[in-house]
């Protein structure tokens, strides 16, 4: 239940609804206090990319879906913000690609683990890993609580999807030989730079697109091999940064902030 009524015609209705979801889940113990701040950082970058799924993001989504479909032991790692914003889409994706779903938290507490597990189960998940004693294995070289993983999940996964991740763990997972898929609005973050596939997009927009793409590509797995051969994460990430630069250039040429609302959003 949202605590305030957001008028549908409000120009930032979607963004406000997302905030309300997070605040509601914060009060339920799903989202950590720092999760609210992290979302703010994400929102700032969403402004920079124009609040839409860009071409490089779509390329990364296709590559990520291909990697997940071809994986032998795919795992989707879920934190508080991901559970709050895209629990149903995450479960749908896990079903299509036959992935395990594992709770992994920077601010880990038994209460938060259970609250996230409950939210995922309400969305249709079974066998949620990484809760309680199940998070008994450790990722080497990591100091934070994020090092604790399930021996049946992230520890043995070949492809790990980590929406809204921190750079340390992304790097550690890549060092373990895993392919890592990150969804991060900040193309400059360590996560974005260390991941094998970086989707620079809002998790709210990217996850449903990942579901649709995986569903379509599942019909033609040979296509997935070619998509992976053609994908270059560094190049794709550079395109995301260039897109922000070009957008700013265009907007500045039009006279700074003196443009219409339509132009404000557009490219």
Footprint on this chain of ligand ATP (rule: CB under 6 A)? 38-39, 41-42, 45, 164, 166-167, 183-186, 189-191, 202-204
> Residue 166 or 239: which CB sits closer to ligand ATP?
166
Q: How far apart are CA 158 and CA 180, in angstroms?
A: 9
Q: For the CB of residue 231, give the shortest distance to ligand ATP in the complex, in Å.
A: 20
> Residue 70 or 203: which CB sits closer to ligand ATP?
203
Please name the residues in contact with 28: beta carbons below 8 A apart, sequence gap of 6 or more: 115
> Residue 115 or 199: which CB sits closer to ligand ATP?
199
Say how many CA atoms lie within 13 Å of 44 toward its Cβ. 9
Question: In the bound complex, which residue of the shown chain has the CB atom lying closest to ligand ATP?
Answer: 42
Q: For the CB of residue 226, give the shortest distance to ligand ATP in the complex, in Å.
A: 28
Say how many CA atoms lie within 13 Å of 54 toward its Cβ. 31
Q: For the CB of residue 223, give the shortest distance to ligand ATP in the complex, in Å.
A: 27
> Residue 134 or 184: which CB sits closer to ligand ATP?
184
Q: For the CB of residue 256, give the shortest distance to ligand ATP in the complex, in Å.
A: 25
> Residue 56 or 70: which CB sits closer to ligand ATP?
56
User: How many CB atoms are located within 10 Å of the residue 70 CB?
Assistant: 18
Q: For the CB of residue 222, give the shortest distance to ligand ATP in the complex, in Å.
A: 31
CA 136-69-66 angle, 5° bins = 115
Burial bucket for residue 132 (CB in 10 Å: 0-12, 13-18, 19+) = exposed
Strand order in 74-78's β-sheet? 100-103, 74-78, 159-163, 179-183, 197-199
> Residue 53 or 134: which CB sits closer to ligand ATP?
53
Per this entry, what is the length of the chain? Answer: 267
Q: For the CB of residue 162, give the shortest distance to ligand ATP in the complex, in Å.
A: 10
End-to-end, the C-alpha distance of the chain in Å comes to: 35
């Amino acid at each position: 239940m949202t605590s305030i009524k957001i008028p549908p015609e409000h120009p930032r209705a979607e963004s406000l609804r997302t905030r309300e979801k997070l605040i509601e889940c914060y009060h339920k113990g799903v989202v950590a206090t720092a999760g609210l701040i992290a979302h703010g950082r994400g929102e700032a970058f969403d402004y920079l990319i124009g609040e839409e799924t860009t071409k490089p993001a779509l390329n990364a989504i296709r590559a990520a879906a291909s990697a997940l479909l071809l994986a032998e032991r795919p795992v989707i790692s879920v934190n508080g913000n991901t559970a709050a914003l895209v629990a149903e889409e995450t479960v749908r994706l896990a079903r299509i690609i036959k992935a395990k779903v594992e709770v992994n938290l920077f601010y880990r507490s038994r209460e938060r683990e259970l609250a996230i597990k409950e939210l995922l189960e309400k969305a249709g998940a079974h066998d949620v890993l990484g809760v309680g004693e199940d998070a008994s294995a450790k990722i080497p070289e990591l100091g934070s609580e994020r090092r604790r993983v399930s021996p049946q999940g992230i520890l043995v996964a070949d492809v790990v999807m980590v929406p809204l991740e921190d750079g340390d763990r992304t790097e550690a997972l890549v060092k373990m030989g895993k392919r890592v898929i990150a969804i991060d609005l900040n193309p400059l973050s360590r996560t974005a730079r260390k991941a094998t596939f970086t989707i620079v997009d809002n998790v709210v927009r990217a996850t449903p697109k990942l579901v649709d793409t995986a569903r379509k590509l599942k019909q033609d797995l040979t296509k997935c091999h070619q998509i992976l051969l053609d994908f270059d994460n560094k190049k794709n990430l550079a395109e995301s940064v260039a897109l922000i630069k070009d957008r700013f250039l265009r907007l500045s040429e039009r006279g700074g902030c003196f443009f219409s609302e339509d132009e404000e959003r557009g490219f």
